[in-house]
A = this chain, B = another copy of it.
Amino acid sequence: MNTFNAIDRLITLLSKLPGIGKKSAARIAYHILNMDASYARTLAEQLACFHDSIRRCSECGSFTETDPCPICSDSERDDSVICVVEKPQDIHVIEESHEFSGKFHVLGGLIAPLDGVNPGDLSIGQLLLRIKRYNIHEVILAVNPTLEGDTTALYLQQILKEAGVEVSRLASGLPVGGDLEYTDRLTLSRSFRGRVKM
């Protein structure tokens, strides 16, 4: 169909994004047409320079515009605690919760031998360097409670204990607002083992 050339091209491009199928892409494209043209232009400018303006922080490995990133260079943050995450977007979520005021470290993945991801592929060496250089006393592992997350946490625990730092991991259990009735067996089992004295 050659009918809606520019619209079709935009729909095809948009439907490559995660969570956006052909129908949502069409809805978005027509929505943009009905919006003020300045929106499309601003979005275009933002996208055009997106990859050029973002690089990796040489300290923590997160995405940033400046190197080191604003978190690594923020002197008001507690630099004796490092929170270890799998990927940069995890930092985004933790920052929005305002629960943590230390530094971060991006592993760049989780140990998954079946997918060919071994400890050597993660930025563990850089983490150990930072621990030594900045006199870190606690490392919080904020990896997902999955098989790969558990494997990675166990591996890091051993290595970090040898480095002489305290190691903790985010609590796993019932989500707030969740319902016991609809909780899976594994989550329930974790919340029992990790039960908290009242």
Contacts and interface: CB of A to CB of B under 8 A. Distances in A.
Interface of A: 1-7, 9-10, 13-14, 16-20, 24, 26-28, 30-33, 37, 39-54, 63-65, 69-71, 87-89, 91-92, 95-96
Contact of A51 (B40, B88, B89): B40
Contacts of A95: 1, 3
B37 A92 contact: no
Contacts of A33: 50-51, 54, 63
How would you classify the secondary structure of chain A's contact residues: helix, strand, loop or mixed?
Answer: helix
A63 B4 contact: yes
Contacts of A48: 40-41, 44-45, 48
Contacts of A46: 6, 9-10, 13, 44
